[in-house]
C-alpha cells in the first residue's frame, strides 16, 4: 500500500540525515506493519537497520502519524528491490521488473518485462516482444526481478 506524502516527508530527513537513502515506505494495514527500505553505497546490514529503526522510532513516537499499534521494520531493498518512483524506473532501465497495476490493462494486472524507457508519467515495459505502456499512477507494486545466469 502506498503511504502518504506527509509520512515520507516526516521520515526522509531522518534517514538521509544518517547518511542513507530512503528507497521507499510500505504500510500493510492488515498486518499493521510499517516497512522502510534503506540503502547505502556500501550496503546495508543488520547494524545499519537497527540504528535507523531506533532513530525513526523516536520520531514516530513523538509525531504519532499512524493511529493504533503497528510493527516497524527497516530493511535493505535486497536483490528484488522495490521500485517506488519514476526515478527508480529510470535508474534501473534495462533490467527486468515485476509490475502489478490497480486495474486490468489488456485483461491482466501483472506484468514482468524489461524496463525500456520512461515516457512522461508512463513506464514502457517489454514483455515477450510486446511493449506495454503502464501509467505510473496505476502501479500498485513494482519490484526488480533479478536474473541469475
Q: Which three cell numbers stand for residue 106?
A: 489488456
Q: Do domains 5-75 and 86-144 have the same CATH topology?
A: no
CA nearest neighbour of 60 among 118, 3, 7, 124:
7
Would you say residue 2 has pLDDT above 70? Answer: no
Task: Let me know if domain 86-144 sits in CATH 3.40.50.300.
Answer: no
What are the pLDDT digits (tens) for 11-48? 999 999 999 999 999 998 889 999 999 999 999 999 99
Hey, what CATH class is 5-75 in? Answer: alpha beta
| Cβ contacts of 125-131, under 8 Å, gap ≥ 24 | 125/97, 125/99
pLDDT of 107: 94
> For 23, what's the count of Cα atoms within 13 Å in the CB-facing half-sphere?
24
End-to-end CA distance of the chain: 32
What are the pLDDT digits (tens) for 64-91? 888 889 999 999 999 999 999 999 999 9
This prediction has a pTM of 0.87
* Residue boundaries of the structural domains of the chain: 5-75, 86-144
Amino acid at each position: 500500500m502506498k503511504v502518504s506524502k506527509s509520512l515520507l516527508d516526516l521520515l526522509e530527513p531522518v534517514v538521509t540525515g544518517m547518511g542513507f537513502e530512503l528507497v521507499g515506505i510500505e504500510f500493510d494495514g492488515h498486518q499493521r506493519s510499517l516497512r522502510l527500505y534503506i540503502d547505502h553505497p556500501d550496503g546495508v546490514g543488520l547494524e545499519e537497520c537497527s540504528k535507523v529503526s531506533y532513530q525513526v522510532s523516536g520520531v514516530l513516537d513523538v509525531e504519532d502519524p499512524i493511529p493504533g499499534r503497528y510493527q516497524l521494520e527497516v530493511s535493505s531493498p535486497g536483490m528484488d528491490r522495490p521500485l517506488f518512483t519514476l526515478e527508480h524506473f529510470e535508474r534501473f532501465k534495462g533490467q527486468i521488473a515485476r509490475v502489478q497495476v490497480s486495474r486490468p490493462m489488456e485483461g491482466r494486472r501483472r506484468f514482468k518485462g524489461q524496463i525500456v524507457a520512461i515516457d512522461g508519467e508512463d513506464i514502457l515495459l517489454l514483455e515477450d516482444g510486446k511493449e506495454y505502456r503502464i501509467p505510473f499512477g496505476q502501479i500498485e507494486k513494482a519490484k526488480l526481478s533479478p536474473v541469475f545466469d
